[in-house]
Amino acid sequence: HDQSLAPGAIILSGFARPIDSGLLTAVAEVAEAAPFRNMTTPGGWRMSVAMTNCGEAGWVTDRSGYRYDPRDPETKTPWPAMPAVFRDLAARAADRAGFPGFQPDACLINRYAPGAKLSLHQDKDEADFGQPIVSVSLGLPATFLWGGTTRSERPRRIRLTHGDIAVWGGPARLTFHGVDTLRDGDHPATGPFRYNLTFRRAR
Ligand code: MD3
Ligand code: FE
């Protein structure tokens, strides 16, 4: 039951579910070395989504801007290595979606508590927009907002639940997207949180 949303955009329902506990163990191990933190936007706002990273580069934002950085600015040490279970899952999902040979070098891990949201944006900090992004949702369900190629287009609302994977590439790569305010809840695997892993080729 792969759900094609538009050319280049596909949702693989429940694709990550068989390995959910392995993924969540790996998230906890990454977060032990590189704790979740609420970063600051260039405009000075504290993000409601808590973030960390693993891989050769991590996405960061502060008063000086957005960028990929090989080091965690909090610890000034390299981000934790990308767990094999992450790398393999991302490659399998990309392959299934029609992007063979995907080798992510960055994984941004987003943690949403009830009330957290992600405003409409484009992912434009990567070097090559020919490379797809693979996104894995775990825990509480969320409403994903999927816009068009301009910010003013009214977004479609798409439910993403535990174990869903979305792959965005080709003509869908630069679409505006976001996440609506997370509702209260309690999930058997994650308690009061939603996690989203986004696999990227940053460089
Ligand atoms: C569509 N994360 O980290 S993942 C992000 O659920 C981000 O945490 C959201 O947007 C989350 O940047 C959404 C789905 C996603 C990711 C990248 C995309 C959809 C995308 C890039 C282009 C188009
Ligand atoms: Fe994004």
| 159 marked among binding-site residues | no
Domain ranges within the chain, ordered by starting residue: 2-200
- Predicted complex ipTM: 0.95
Mutate which of 122, 198, 200 for ligand 1 pocket (most atoms within 8 A of beta carbon): 198
In CATH terms, is domain 2-200 a member of 2.60.120.260? no
Q: Given this model, what pLDDT does residue 1 score?
A: 82
Among candidate residues 11, 2, 31, 27, the one with its CA nearest the CA of residue 139:
27
List phi, psi (to 5°) of 110.
-100, 135
CB atoms closer than 10 angstroms to residue 127: 12
Q: Cα–Cα distances in Å, from 16 out to 11, 98, 134, 149, 161?
A: 11, 17, 12, 28, 11
- What pLDDT band is residue 25 in, cutting at 50, 70 and 90? very high
**How close are the terminal C-alpha atoms of the chain, in Å?**
32
146 SS3 class: strand
Residue 6 has pLDDT above 90, yes or no: yes
Q: Given this model, what pLDDT does residue 85 score?
A: 98
Cβ pair 56, 70 in contact under 8 A: yes
Q: What's the average model confidence in pLDDT over 155-172?
A: 97
17 SS3 class: helix
Mutate which of 196, 199, 201 for ligand 1 pocket (most atoms within 8 A of beta carbon): 196
> In this predicted model, what pLDDT tens digit does every residue of 37-78 receive, in sequence order?
999 999 999 999 999 999 999 999 999 999 999 999 999 999
> In this predicted model, what pLDDT tens digit does every residue of 138-149 receive, in sequence order?
999 999 999 999
Distance (Å, whole) CA 177 – CA 157: 10
> In this predicted model, what pLDDT tens digit does every residue of 86-137 receive, in sequence order?
999 999 999 999 999 999 999 999 999 999 999 999 999 999 999 999 999 9
| 154 marked among binding-site residues | no
Residue 203 has pLDDT above 90, yes or no: yes
